[in-house]
Amino acid sequence: MRVVTNKKLARRNRKLTNYLFFGTFGALILGFVVINASLFTSDVPDGLTIFVQSAILPIAFILTIVSVRMTNLWARSPRPEKAIEDGLKGLSNKSILYNYYHFPARHVLICPQGVFAIVTRWHDQEFTIRDGKFRSHRNMLSKFFSMIRLDGVGKPLRDAEFARQEVQRSLDDIAGEVEVQPLVVFVDPSAKLNFEDELELPVLYADPKKKPNMKDYLRDIKRQIADDDGSAKNVSLMPLTDDQIAAFEEATI
């Protein structure tokens, strides 16, 4: 499988994550000093001091939220692109995985089974999925802090559909007959998913040791293609020609 990653963007955002971490830490220290400065002096605070004291905590809070979010997306281990690549080992060498070029689809896979727009979730907790909603098994305090940090699982099914639509628009002028398929992939092996009903689109693990996973899902599609065709002779055909893939890359990378 060929892997094409926007390394420049990934490196830049990881550096930004580090800067935000130290910036947040510095803002918290500065906030503590500024807010408590009046305890060490008998001077009446002037307007500027009051303004700074009022603004420093909201700024530190915003920096904290942004820093946590950036860390989860760009610095948290396992890295989604690596987890997906490892989970798809053995996939056809004609396959191509694109990382961080087609937002909101963070990953796009072109392989003999089709074209897939992939959104990932880094969360390592347990979820029960009912009526398309992901319900966390964490206690109320953990849920409260998760809400404050804005790092909840969100709406993966909706996000995957948005991602699919965006990739589909990119392909329509190149290969309008090809239908992009959405996938939701949990990359952390500690994640646990409990399915209470059938979902409108696949929610999978990256880890091939867990079920349902990407590798098995694509293998089942391959078998279905073979069954529909009556033989395996066409199973290895790519959904896009080399020229179409080149055009797709030229238009989107």
Length of the chain, in residues: 253
Is 127:134 a contact under the CB 8 Å cutoff? yes
Q: If you search the block for the tokens 């880890």, which residue do you land on? A: 207
* Residues 89, 86: Cα–Cα separation, whole Å: 5
* Residues 239, 156: Cα–Cα separation, whole Å: 26
pLDDT in tens, 161-207: 999 999 999 999 999 899 999 999 999 999 999 999 889 899 999 99
Q: What is the largest CA-CA distance in the chain?
A: 89
Q: 24 pLDDT exceeds 90?
A: no
3-state SS, residue 193: strand
The better pLDDT of the pair 55, 197 is held by 197
* Residues 199, 218: Cα–Cα separation, whole Å: 17
pLDDT in tens, 116-164: 999 999 999 999 999 889 998 887 777 777 777 678 899 999 999 999 9
Q: 43 pLDDT exceeds 70?
A: no
pLDDT of residue 47: 67
Mean pLDDT of all residues in 77-97: 95
Mean pLDDT of all residues in 24-32: 78
pLDDT of residue 120: 97
Integer CA distances (angstroms), 45 to 32, 57, 59, in order: 16, 17, 20
What proportion of the chain, given as a percentage, has pLDDT over 70?
Answer: 88
* Residues 94, 112: Cα–Cα separation, whole Å: 8
The better pLDDT of the pair 249, 222 is held by 249
* Neighbouring residues of 42: CB distance < 8 A, sequence distance ≥ 6: none
CB atoms within 10 A of CB 142: 12
Domain ranges of the chain: 7-74, 80-252
Q: 221 pLDDT exceeds 80?
A: yes
pLDDT of residue 168: 97
pTM of the model: 0.86
